[in-house]
Structure 1
C-alpha cells in the first residue's frame, strides 16, 4: 500500500513540475520573441526531472532561459516572421481560384513548421553544444530538428498530435494557455531523439 502511495505522490509531483514549467514559460514568453528560449528551458528542465537530476525548478529554469536566450531571440523573430507570412499567404490564397486546394496545403506546411520549431527547442535543450564552434547553437538545432522530423515520422506525428491537443485545450479554455506549454515540452522531450 505504501509503494502505491509513493508512486501516486511521485506522479503528482511530476505533474505539478510540468504545470509549473508551463507557467514559467508563459511568464518568460511575455515579450513573444522569447517564447523559443522559454520553451527550450522548459524542455531542459523536464528532461532533467525525467532523469531524476532534480534541482530547484525556479532557479534552474531562469538559468537555462538566460543561456537559451543567447541565440533564441533571433529564432523567435524568425518564427514570428513565419507566422506573419503564413497569415498573409492565407489571405492571398483566399482570392485565388485554387483556394480549396492551396489552403489545406498551407495548413499542412504550417503544421510541419510548428513541429520543426518545437523540435528545435527540444534539440537545444537536450543536446550538447553545436559540433563546430562557429555554428550557432540554434541554427544547428534547427537543421537537426528538420532532419529528425523527416527521418522519424511516427514521433513527428505524435508531437503534431500533442501540439494539436494543446491548441484544442487553449481554444476550449483559454486560461490553459498559462500552463499548456509544460505538457507540450514534456511531449517534445518524450518524442525527441536521444542524442
Structure 2
C-alpha cells in the first residue's frame, strides 16, 4: 500500500513539473512581441496557481483565455517595464564614466532588482487577486486598466513589508537569468518555474 502511495505521489509530482514547463513554454510564446510579456506572465501565474490548488482546468485553453483578458491592462504595463529597463541600461552606461561610479552603479543595480521584484509581484497580484478583496475565483475575469496601477502600489507595499519573500523572488529571478545565460534554450521554459516562485512567495493560500 505504501509503495502504491509513493508511486502515485511521484506521478503527481511529475505531472506538476510538466505543467510548470508547459506554462513556461506558453509564456515564452505569448511574450514574442515583448510588450505582451506582462500579460503572458500573469496568465502563467494564474494557471499554475490553479494547479497548485488542484483546481481542474485545461491548462492550454485556460492560459490563452487568461492571456487575452490580462492583455487589456497588461500591455501598457509591459511598455512601462520595457521603458524602465531601457532607462536603467542607459543610466548604467552613463554612470560608469562618472565620478563616484563605484557607489552609483551598485545602487542602480539594487534599484533594478527591487523594480524587477515589484513587477513580478504585480503580475502575481493581478493573477491571484491578492491586491483586491481576497483571492480571485477561478472563473472571475482578470482586471484591466487602473487595477494594474493599484496592483503596482500593493506590490511595492508588500515587498517593503515582507523583504524576505521579496528576496526569495529576487533569487528565483536571478537563477532564471543565470540558467538562460548558461543554456539559452532554457529561455523557452524558465518562465514557468519563475511564475510558480512568484505565486509561492505571494503568501496567499
TM-score, normalised on structure 2? 0.91
1:96 counterpart residue number: 98
Deviation at 1:136, TM superposition (A): 1.4
Asked if 1:183 is matched to 2:185, the reply is no
Deviation at 1:137, TM superposition (A): 1.5
CA RMSD across the alignment: 1.7
Deviation at 1:194, TM superposition (A): 1.8
Relative to structure 1, the CA distance from residue 104 to residue 193 in structure 2 (aligned partners, 3 Å threshold; closer, same or farther) is same
Q: Distance in 2 between matches of 1:149 and 1:128?
A: 13
2:147 counterpart residue number: 137
Tell me if the contact between 2:131 and 2:154 (Cα under 8 Å) persists in the aligned partners.
no
Tell me if the contact between 1:18 and 1:183 (Cα under 8 Å) persists in the aligned partners.
yes
In structure 1, the gaps of 5 or more residues are none
Matched residue pairs, number?
Answer: 194
Deviation at 1:140, TM superposition (A): 1.0
In structure 2, the gaps of 5 or more residues are 134-142
Asked if 1:6 is matched to 2:8, the reply is yes
2:28 counterpart residue number: 26
1:68 counterpart residue number: 70
Greater mean deviation of Cα atoms: 10-19 or 122-131: 122-131
Structure 1 consecutive aligned stretches of length 4 or more whose deviation exceeds 3 Å: 128-131
Greater mean deviation of Cα atoms: 92-101 or 14-23: 92-101
Relative to structure 1, the CA distance from residue 2 to residue 125 in structure 2 (aligned partners, 3 Å threshold; closer, same or farther) is same
2:61 counterpart residue number: 59
Write the deviation string for residues 8-43 of structure 1: whole angstroms up to 9, x where unpaired. Answer: 000000000000000000000000000000000000
1:168 counterpart residue number: 178
Deviation at 1:92, TM superposition (A): 0.8
Write the deviation string for residues 154-182 of structure 1: whole angstroms up to 9, x where unpaired. Answer: 10110011001101100100000000000
Q: Distance in 2 between matches of 1:58 and 1:76?
A: 22
Q: Distance in 2 between matches of 1:68 and 1:140?
A: 15
Provide the secondary structure at the position in 1 that maps to 2:203: coil
Deviation at 1:118, TM superposition (A): 0.4
Among candidates 110, 113, 121, match of residue 112 of structure 2: 110
